[in-house]
Amino acid sequence: MVMTENVGSTPPVDDPGWRRALPWLGVACRLVLAGVWITAGALKLPDLTESVRAVQAYKLLPTGLASVVGYGLPPLEIAVGLLLLAGLFTRYAAVVSGLLQVAFIIGISSAWARGMSIDCGCFGNGGELAAGQSPNYFWEILRDVGLLLASAILVLRPRTPLSVDRWIRGA
Amino acid sequence: MGKAQRQRQAAQVVREQLAAEQRRKRTLIAVGVAVAVLVVGGAIGYGIYQGNKESKVTEPIAATVNYGFQTGNGPVTVDLYVDFMCPACKAFEQTYEQQLQQAAQAGQITLIKHPVAILNRMSQGTDYSTRAGASSVCAANDGKFTEFSTALFAAQPQENTSGLTNGELTDIGKGVGLGDTFANCTNAQTYAAWIDKGTEKASEDGLSGTPYVKINGESVELKDFATALDAAIGAAGGASADPSASTS
> What own/partner pairs with CB < 8 Å and gap ≥ 24 does B17-25 have?
B19/A170, B22/A170, B23/A168, B23/A169, B23/A170
Residue B123: φ, ψ to 5°: -125, 35
Is residue B61 in some structural domain? Answer: no
Q: Are residues B89 and B197 in the same domain?
A: yes
Nearest chain B Cα to A50, which residue? Answer: B118
User: Is B120:B128 a contact under the CB 8 Å cutoff?
Assistant: yes
Is the minimum CB–CB distance between B196 and chain A shorter than 8 Å?
yes
* Residues from chain B contacting residue A78 (CB–CB below 8 Å): 41
User: How high is the pLDDT of residue A28?
Assistant: 96
Least confident segment among A1-5, A10-14, B45-49, B183-187: A1-5
B50 pLDDT tier (thresholds 50, 70, 90): confident
B76 strand-pairing partners: B109
Looking at chain A from residue 79 to 118, which residues have their Cβ under 8 Å from any Cβ of chain B?
79, 82-83, 88-89, 116-118
Q: Domain check: are B238 and B180 in the same one? A: yes
Model confidence band, residue B55 (pLDDT cutoffs 50, 70, 90): low
Residues 67-126 of B with CB under 8 A from A: 86-88, 91, 118-121
Q: Which residues in B lie closer than 8 A to residue A132 (C-beta atoms)? A: 88
pLDDT attached to residue A4: 42
B200 and A59 in contact by Cβ < 8 A?
no
Which of A27, A52, A50, A63 has the alpha carbon at shortest distance from A150? A27
d(CA A92, CA A111): 29
B99 and B154 assigned to the same domain: yes
Beta pairing, strands B109-115 & B212-215: unpaired
CA pseudo-torsion sign B41, B43, B44, B45 = positive
- Reported as a pLDDT band with limits 50, 70 and 90, residue A23 is confident
Contact A125 B121 (CB under 8 A): yes
CA distance A108 to chain B (A): 14
Residue B178 included in any domain: yes
Query: Dmax over Cα atoms in chain B, in whole Å?
Result: 118
Whether A160 has its CB under 8 Å from any CB of chain B: the answer is no
pLDDT greater than 70 at residue A13? no
Name every chain A residue with its beta carbon within 8 A of the beta carbon of B210: 128
Task: Decide if B195 is inside a domain.
Answer: yes
Q: Where are the domains of chain A?
A: 24-169
Whether the CA torsion B102, B105, B106, B107 is positive or negative: it is: positive
B221 and B139 together in one domain: yes
Q: How far apart are CA B207 and CA B119, in angstroms?
A: 13
B49 lies in which domain range? 1-53
Higher pLDDT, A114 or A46: A114
Look at residue B239 and tell me whether its pLDDT is greater than 90.
no
Say if residue B82 is in the same domain as residue B106: yes
Across A71-105, b (16+ Cβ under 10 Å) vs e yields bebbbebbbbbbbbbbbbbbeebbbbbbebbeebb
> B58 in a domain, yes or no?
no
Closest C-alpha to A150, from A86, A88, A81 = A81
Give the Cβ contact number of residue B87 at 10 Å.
18
Q: CB–CB of B112/B68 below 8 Å?
A: yes
Evaluate if residue A102 carries a pLDDT over 60: yes
| Residues sharing a CB contact under 8 Å with residue B116, sequence separation 6 or more, in sequence order | B81, B82, B83, B129, B133, B195, B198, B199, B202, B207, B210
Give per-residue pLDDT as tens, B74-116: 999 999 999 999 999 999 999 999 999 999 999 999 999 999 9
pLDDT at B1: 63
User: Same structural domain for residues B21 and B103?
Assistant: no
- Classify B210 in phi/psi space as left (phi over 0), alpha (psi -120 to 50) or beta: beta
Look up the CATH number of the domain holding residue B144: 3.40.30.10
The better pLDDT of the pair A96, A17 is held by A96
Cα-based distances in Å from B80 to B63, B87, B165: 17, 15, 25
Is B98 in the same domain as B41? no
Beta-bridge partner residues of B114: B81
In single-letter form, the type of residue at position B173 comes to G
B118/A53 CB distance under 8 A = yes
Q: What is the pLDDT of residue A169?
A: 87
Q: What average pLDDT does this structure show over B44-53?
A: 74
pLDDT at res. A6: 43
**pLDDT one-digit tens code per residue, B198-221:** 998 898 888 888 899 999 999 898
- By C-alpha distance, the chain B residue nearest A52 is B200
Domain check: are B110 and B23 in the same one? Answer: no
Task: Give the tens place of pLDDT for each residue, A39-82.
Answer: 999 988 877 888 888 898 888 988 788 888 998 999 999 999 99
Residue-averaged pLDDT of chain B: 89
H/E stretch holding A41? helix A16-44
Per-residue pLDDT tens for B8-19? 999 999 999 999
Does residue B47 share a domain with residue B80? no
Query: For residue range B180-195, what is the model confidence (pLDDT) as tens digits?
Result: 999 999 999 999 999 9
The predicted pLDDT at position B49 comes to 72
* For residue B121, pLDDT beyond 80: yes
How many domains are contained in chain B? 2
Q: Is residue B60 part of a domain?
A: no
